[in-house]
Structure 1
Amino acid sequence: MHDEGDRKMEAVLARAQAAVADLAKHYGANTLGDLDQCAALLKTAREAPDRRAAAIKDLYGIAHNIKGQGGSFGYPLVTRIGHSLCTLVRQEREFSDADLGVVQAHLDALRLILTKDIKGEGGEVGARLAARLENMVKAPG
């Protein structure tokens, strides 16, 4: 027999599960919006060298959220590529135009994964794509 405390806990858990399910349903669209913000920041970094460092710092904040949420919503490949992107943009240094090209490659890959709704690890193609991006981060420029 359930007491009132158990019923309240079950209700709280049910609401939490419904909220997570709603977040998962909208994850792709919301993250595409985040990628649009990243693209705008990248454009600023390219066009306004005096604002490049600030734009990259802001881009890192968004990329960090993308990385953190991907696996939670069934997109571990997004998390892996997001981690690679974060590794690149969290570095405190001068970013060359070539570095910005590597950022663009990451954003393009993330957009492709989300628009094609590629959940999971992405198979062999996903592994090769992520490894290539990770190698670009190891030797930027």
Structure 2
Amino acid sequence: MHEERDRKMEAVLARAQAAVADLAKSYGPSTLADLDRCASLLKAARADLATRAASIKELYGIAHNVKGQGGAFGYPLVTRIAHSLCTLVRQERDLSDADLGVVQAHLDALRLIITKDIKGEGGEVGPKLAARLENMVKAPG
């Protein structure tokens, strides 16, 4: 009886591990698609002041998802930089053109990390890059 239950549990665990492995394979392409959407929203925010807030709000939602998934798939640097981006775009103020440049810098960094498959903390350069972006958020404009 215990052996049958153990076999069933092992089978459930194996299916779950396979599902996570499949998700991990699609993480890079899926995140790049999210970053493409963010880039489109940023372009819209730059082009139309009247809809800037709505575009940035939508960008925040996507960045928040990217932040949440990074660490789960071995990209804590993505999580850190996406957190910095979320901090900037969720502020209770209108974003200036200079702020939008900081948003672009974050998106560029995230794209580089995913494209180059930089897992972990990003070696010696990763923390420096993240700190620089975080400092830009503390003093935008």
TM-score range, shorter chain: over 0.9
Q: Which amino acid aligns with 1:113?
A: I
Q: For residue 124 of structure 2, give the secondary structure of its aligned residue in structure 1.
A: helix
Distance across 2 between alignment mates of 1:89 and 1:7: 49
1:15 aligns with 2:10: no
The SS at the match of 2:28 is helix
TM-score w.r.t. the length of structure 1 is 0.96
Equivalents in 2 of 1:15, 1:135: separation in Å?
Answer: 43
Identity of aligned residues (%): 83
TM-score by length of 2: 0.96
2: CA distance, partners of 1:98 / 1:54: 18
The equivalent residue for 2:35 is 35
Gapped regions of structure 2 (runs ≥ 5) = none
Whichever residue aligns with residue 37 of structure 1, its letter is R
1:1-141 matches, cutoff 5 A: 2-141=2-141
Runs of 5+ in structure 1 lacking a partner? none
| Amino acid paired to 2:105 | A
Per-residue deviation, 1:119: 0.7
2: CA distance, partners of 1:89 / 1:97? 13
Letter of the 2:42 partner, please give it: L
The one-character-per-residue Cα deviations of 1:63-89 (angstroms, maximum 9, x if unpaired) are 001011111111111011011001111
- Tell me how far 1:7 sits from its aligned partner: 2.4
Matched length = 141
Distance in 2 between the 1:2 and 1:37 partners? 50
